[in-house]
Amino acid sequence: MALQLSSAGFCLFRGRRALTTRAVASEDVTTLKEENKVKLGGSDVKVSRLGIGAWSWGDTSYWNDSGWDDRKMKAAKAAFDASIDGGITFFDTAEVYGAAFMGVVNSETLLGRFIKERQQKESVEVAVATKFAPLPWRFGRGSVLSALKSSLSRLGLSSVDLYQLHWPGIWGNEGYIDGLGDAVEQGLVKAVGVSNYSEKRLRDAYNQLKKRGIPLASNQVNYSLIYRNPERNGVKAACDELGITLIAYSPIAQGVLTGKYTPENPPTGPRGRIYTPEFLKELQPLLTRIKEIGQGYGKSPTQVALNWLTCQGNVVPIPGAKNAEQAEEFVGALGWRLTDQEAEELRLLASKTREVVGFPVEKL
């Protein structure tokens, strides 16, 4: 669903807020727009250099202090609109986010609604990524197509730009990979990817799809300044070697790298069990340096943490935004660059901190 150009104007990634220019020549618009986009692996799909994660939209199991209401829904819609206004047009969701069977609104349904409402006002460009959940009772290629059709129905779309296997299947993955290939051939998706895949699984999936002439576009994994496992376990290097985009989830460590959580004010809910006061205390030297470096650029810690990821090359971070302010801040993570020395200094400082615990799905 990578769509048309907006007729109203074009937003540059610059500073904390997006600037809107209306009086630029059409060639300039194209150039600027292209500059802030990247191809997903070897596919033809181009997305903004940074996407927005929609896990928290409608979720009551991990986010939102176990409650979803109209106020949170309006804030999520404002996050969507602010992202589009700022030129961030890539959105990541999944069939299990805010899953309907848990009695709340599904993230896909909300995203589909937000797109439709915006499209009713003007023509906007949106690239949608969603994910198949390889639940133990789902077998083979047919289950992928059937889940995809349900996702498309919730999204209100005839195809998505990227369809990903959310985590490795416990019975094997060949059938699921075949299902991804079928989805491409049936025109239901433009590109396919995986998530939480080890180097070995990544190479296997890449080779299996290659036999059908289909590129494996991406691997979505946990990656941030304080979770650099992909650099050690061979996943980042394999992505770079094979031309697979690494989509970085939890890129601001679930809010912790913004600097707003302190030992005295740790996050509530399930996050509080990971980012404990002791952990947050250990993190302070890194957070202080992130802040100092940011000040030199007029950038916030959030923007520095996201920029650090883009400096690693071949990485598209997808921070989660709950409201317009958070989305606007992400826009300012692009359009500038830390120096190599600063990026290395932050890595070194981060390596002196205990690493956060990853998601169990990575260990399947």
Ligand X SMILES: NC(=O)c1ccc[n+]([C@@H]2O[C@H](COP(=O)([O-])OP(=O)(O)OC[C@H]3O[C@@H](n4cnc5c(N)ncnc54)[C@H](OP(=O)(O)O)[C@@H]3O)[C@@H](O)[C@H]2O)c1
Q: For residues 304, 61, 83 and 265, what is the CA-based torsion angle, rounded to 10 degrees? A: -40
Residue 357 is which amino acid? V
For ligand X, the closer CB: 24 or 347: 347
Least Å distance, CB 224 to ligand X, is 7
Which residue's C-beta sits nearest to ligand X?
53
* Residue spans of alpha helices (H) in the chain: 26-35, 70-86, 107-121, 140-155, 174-185, 199-210, 229-232, 235-242, 271-274, 277-297, 301-311, 324-331, 340-351
Residue 83 binding ligand X, by CB under 6 A: no
Residue 363 binding ligand X, by CB under 6 A: no
Give the separation between CA 206 and CA 106, rounded to whole angstroms: 30
Window 209 to 238, contacts with ligand X (CB under 6 A): 220
Question: Of the candidates 235, 316, 321, 333, which one interacts with ligand X according to CB under 6 A?
Answer: 321
Which residue is listed with tokens 């023509």?
123
Give the separation between CA 313 and CA 250, rounded to whole angstroms: 17
Which residue is listed with tokens 């205390």?
281
For ligand X, the closer CB: 32 or 355: 355
Phi/psi region, residue 19 (left: phi>0; alpha: psi -120 to 50; beta: rest), is: beta
Residue 106 binding ligand X, by CB under 6 A: no
DSSP state string for 180-203: HHHHHHTTSEEEEEEES--HHHHH
What Rg, from alpha-carbon coordinates, does the chain have? 19
Question: Of the candidates 253, 287, 306, 309, which one interacts with ligand X according to CB under 6 A?
Answer: 253
Token duo for residue 6: 């907006």
User: Which is the catalytic residue, given 62, 97, 249, 261?
Assistant: 97
Give the separation between CA 92 and CA 56, rounded to whole angstroms: 11
Residue 92 binding ligand X, by CB under 6 A: yes
Binding-residue pattern over the window 123 to 162 for ligand X, x denoting contact by CB under 6 A: ----------------------------------------
Least Å distance, CB 253 to ligand X, is 5
Interacting span for ligand X (CB under 6 A) from 28-36, 118-126, 319-327, 336-344: 319-327
Give the separation between CA 280 and CA 273, rounded to whole angstroms: 12
Interacting span for ligand X (CB under 6 A) from 17-25, 119-127, 251-259, 338-346: 251-259
Window 36 to 55, contacts with ligand X (CB under 6 A): 53-55
| Residue 266 contacts residue 295 (beta carbons within 8 Å) | no
Window 324 to 343, contacts with ligand X (CB under 6 A): 326, 329
Burial of 358 (0-12, 13-18, 19+ CB in 10 A): middle
For ligand X, the closer CB: 11 or 324: 324
For ligand X, the closer CB: 175 or 358: 358
Residue 249 is among the residues annotated as catalytic for this protein? no
Residue 310 binding ligand X, by CB under 6 A: no
Residue 319 binding ligand X, by CB under 6 A: yes
Give the interface with ligand X as residue ranges (CB under 6 A).
53-56, 92, 166, 195-196, 220, 249-255, 258, 260, 302, 318-322, 326, 329, 359, 361
Give the active site residues: 97
